[in-house]
Amino acid sequence: MEEAKPVPRVGVVVFVLKGRSVLLGRRRSSIGASTFALPGGHLEFGESFEECGGREVKEETGLEMGKAEYLTVTNNLFLDQPKPAHYVTVFLRAELADPDQVPQNLEPDKCDGWEWYEWDKDKLPQPLFWPLDQMVRSGFNPFPSP
């Protein structure tokens, strides 16, 4: 049988904000393995971006977020994979519903663990997952303007 033609997929990822920090975890998934990335995952049929972001953050970290806000979208080709992939990635931001919540590593097969990192290009962990790295290099700031 012929292999199915690859199609673009939609990823929804969240800058979970706490003070001046964002939540990042080192990926174990094949795309971006061992780089630091935001929590997030695939948009499911019928979901809003905000529902997807809240669900993925909960599934991956156990954290309950407050209201999510749309930030931007990027178009990402991962051609150097055994199976090339194409993601339209939607970036949201949200604060925690209760700021005292502690992230848990609920999908240890996909991530080494979650930590808060100050949003400062010299303090962020390296290497960043390249779609995120590009945003940092372009001067992107996920925090609301004061």
Residues that bind ligand 8DG (CB under 6 A): 11, 13, 29, 31, 37-38, 40-42, 56, 76, 87, 89, 110, 129, 131-132
Quick one: which of 121, 95, 100, 126 has its CA closest to 26? 126
The answer to whether the beta carbons of residues 125 and 116 sit under 8 Å apart is: no
26 or 96, CB closer to ligand 8DG?
26
The partner in contact with residue 18, picked from ligand 8DG, Mg ion, none with C-beta cut-offs of 5 to 8 angstroms by kind, is: none
Question: Judged by CB, which is closer to ligand 8DG: 31, or 96?
Answer: 31
Place of tokens 């240890």: 108
Angle 38-146-12 (CA atoms, 0-180°, nearest 5)?
20
- Residue pair 89/74 in contact (Cβ under 8 Å)? The answer is yes
Whose CB is nearest to ligand 8DG? 11
CB of residue 43 to Mg ion, shortest distance in Å: 11
Query: Vertex 136, ends 132 and 139: CA angle to 5°?
Result: 145
Quick check: 41 binds Mg ion (CB under 5 A)?
yes
Examine residue 53 and tell whether it contacts Mg ion (CB under 5 A): no
Q: C-beta of 105: minimal distance to ligand 8DG in Å?
A: 13
- The distance of closest approach from Cβ of residue 49 to ligand 8DG in the complex, given in angstroms and rounded to an integer, is 12
CB of 59 to Mg ion, least distance (A): 5
Rounded Cα gap, residues 135 and 42, in angstroms = 20
Least Cα distance to 57 among 32, 86, 24 occurs for 24
Residues that bind Mg ion (CB under 5 A): 41, 56
